Amino acid sequence: MSWPAALLWVLIFAAAASNGPGLLYLLMACGAFGSLQMLPGSGGANLLPQSACAAVFIGKVLIQRGNVLRAVEAGLDPQRLALFSAFLVYALFGAVVLPRVFSGMIEVVPVSAFRFGTDILKPGAGNITQSGYMMLSYATALSFTVIGQTEAMRAHYRRALLYGACTLVATGLVDLITFTLNIGAVLEPFRTATYALLTDVEAEGAKRVVGLMPEASSYGTACVGLAAALVFNRPLYSPGNEQRLVIVAIGALVLMTMLSTSSTAYVGLAVFGLIYGLDLLVRMLDAGNARRDQIGLEVGLIVFAVFAVFAAFVIKPALFDPIVAMVDKMVFQKSSSASYVERSLWNRVGWHAFLDSGGLGVGLGSVRVSNWAISILGSTGIFGALMMFGFIAQQLVAVPRNASREVVVFATVTKLGLVPVLVMYQLSGTIPDIGIAASAALGMIAATHAPSARRRAVPPPSLAVRSAPVGAPSGFRS
């Protein structure tokens, strides 16, 4: 175990022992350390910092008085997590049964494959590890559903996103600086995961920024996801320094996305821009929209940004040549790259695994693809896909009933910020696991569909330390 992993374990347990929301903030910050192995030794499964922190976070939530019962209620509630619960049961059953039923009969690209090519399906360790990851994501969504029903918790969640964004930007800067100074070896203790790490790759003569993630694609997509979340949540942050920090973080995340030169991240950024533009238009045309408070500031910032880019182009057009060349190579010429050929093979084999299994799938952890929808279909079949996609569609479309203005606004902005992430999953999702960050967002959305009595604000901080309000979940104290 490297020293950063040991230090993070200390921080995780210290945060867990505190009464404040430190563990939640640390959970989001740990998302920036995607190449750090938290387990001792150099072999076996990888336990990443965010997964380790999520496990402790879940434990802290569930040991609070009454939260186990609330978790059972949320897991069985058709308006909240019932579909996700049904998916998990079916997926875990399939992970055990399906690889054995179809063993030796179906061609797959194994999740743990380190070479280009395919293999014949057989039960393996991947079925166990991927099942574990899926259970962790489900438990994360469940925990956030239980504790996400108060205004104080929603405020902590927003601040945690900001913590995560600042950490992600900082690790990207460290990666860029150490590469420029040719001292990249100092980051080796942070890059101990056993899967392939692509950390020193260049494109068009420029360093592809990866931060402390395994590759540029994972870093760039993480930047886009947090940028989208901050943009849509920005009006809900406290006026003053907090909102100004959010604006700086958004700009830094967009810059880091561009420096990652990830084609998936570029597409995600375009989708995010399209969704934001449509949402802005809707708010401008709808005089009764609850999110019109700071629309003038948003329009002003957009006009300033467009004017600045136009002025730079007029003064020095050549300044944009490297950017145009990079986008052309990473997006429009992507189909000629070796990566595209390899990932196309994964998708083709994964799709045929779904068809060859009669639509049942071959089990969690049995097949690697590069498209999240195909991963769900190939792993859990049509039944799993209907439950998982049904759950996501339900959370994105359903409107909280009998909810306050604040709850409705929070649900709306969280949904909008999640859409670019789901689109990027379709371009690069290799496994069925939806991930800790997306699970947390879905859990917070599901929490807005809880009975109205449980969405009341927590009492003043002086009382919150002693007890939670009647009917409200216990969790982190404000």
Give the tens place of pLDDT for each residue, 58-67.
999 999 999 9
Mean pLDDT is lowest, of 203-217, 299-313, 389-403, 427-441, for: 299-313
Mean pLDDT is lowest, of 12-21, 86-95, 182-191, 306-315, for: 306-315
| Contacts for 214-218: CB closer than 8 Å, 24+ residues apart | 214/34, 214/35, 216/260, 216/261, 216/262, 217/260, 217/262, 217/263, 217/264, 217/265, 217/428, 218/34
463 is a domain residue: no
| Greatest Cα-to-Cα distance within the chain, rounded to the nearest angstrom | 66
Q: What is the pLDDT of residue 320?
A: 62
What is the pLDDT confidence band of residue 166, given thresholds at 50, 70 and 90? very high
What is the pLDDT confidence band of residue 459, given thresholds at 50, 70 and 90? very low
Query: Mean pLDDT throughout 408-420?
Result: 94
Query: Mean pLDDT throughout 70-76?
Result: 94
| CA-atom Rg of the chain in angstroms | 22
Q: What is the pLDDT of residue 466?
A: 33
Q: What is the residue whose two structure tokens read 């076996």?
A: 44
462 is a domain residue: no
Mean pLDDT is lowest, of 26-30, 143-147, 336-340, for: 336-340
Q: Determine the 3-state secondary structure of 48 from DSSP.
A: coil
Report whether pLDDT(77) > 60: yes
Report whether pLDDT(419) > 90: yes
Report whether pLDDT(456) > 50: no
Q: What is the pLDDT of residue 203?
A: 67
Phi-psi category of residue 162: left, alpha or beta, with phi > 0 → left and psi -120 to 50 → alpha: alpha
286-313 pLDDT, tens digit per residue, is 777 777 776 777 777 778 778 877 787 6
Domain containing residue 48: 3-454
Query: Mean pLDDT throughout 242-251?
Result: 93
Q: What is the pLDDT of residue 471?
A: 40
Tokens at 156, concatenated? 């902590």
Report whether pLDDT(160) > 50: yes
Query: Mean pLDDT throughout 162-180?
Result: 94
Enumerate residues 6+ apart whose C-beta is below 8 A from 255: none
461 is a domain residue: no
Burial bucket for residue 178 (CB in 10 Å: 0-12, 13-18, 19+): middle
471 is a domain residue: no
Instruction: Decide if 429 contacts 130 (C-beta within 8 A).
Output: no
Of residues 115 and 242, which shows the higher confidence score?
Answer: 242
Instruction: Decide if 216 contacts 201 (C-beta within 8 A).
Output: yes
Query: Mean pLDDT throughout 116-134?
Result: 87
Q: What is the pLDDT of residue 110?
A: 86
Q: What is the pLDDT of residue 296?
A: 76
Q: Determine the 3-state secondary structure of 207 from DSSP.
A: strand
Instruction: Decide if 94 contacts 69 (C-beta within 8 A).
Output: no
Residue type, 465: V
Mean pLDDT is lowest, of 98-102, 180-184, 303-307, 390-394, for: 303-307
What is the pLDDT confidence band of residue 7, given thresholds at 50, 70 and 90? very high
Query: Mean pLDDT throughout 26-37?
Result: 94
CA–CA separation, 425 and 434 (whole Å): 9
Instruction: Decide if 38 contacts 49 (C-beta within 8 A).
Output: yes
Q: What is the mean pLDDT of the chain?
A: 86
Tokens at 261, concatenated? 């030169």
> Among positive and negative, which fits the CA dihedral 96, 102, 103, 109?
negative
Mean pLDDT is lowest, of 27-41, 322-336, 341-355, for: 322-336
Burial bucket for residue 157 (CB in 10 Å: 0-12, 13-18, 19+): buried
Residue 342 has a CB neighbour count (10 Å cut-off) of 13
Q: What is the pLDDT of residue 455?
A: 43
Report whether pLDDT(78) > 90: yes
For the chain, percent of residues with pLDDT exceeding 90: 57
419 is a domain residue: yes
Report whether pLDDT(405) > 70: yes
Report whether pLDDT(468) > 70: no
- Domains in the chain, number: 1
Element (H, E) at 136: helix 125-147
Q: What is the pLDDT of residue 302?
A: 78
What is the pLDDT confidence band of residue 205, given thresholds at 50, 70 and 90? low
28 is a domain residue: yes
465 is a domain residue: no
Tokens at 74, concatenated? 């949320």
Nearest of 452, 446, 447 to residue 475 by alpha carbon: 447
Q: What is the pLDDT of residue 41?
A: 72
Element (H, E) at 206: strand 206-207
267 is a domain residue: yes
Helix 241-260 and helix 216-233, axial crossing angle in degrees, nearest 10: 150
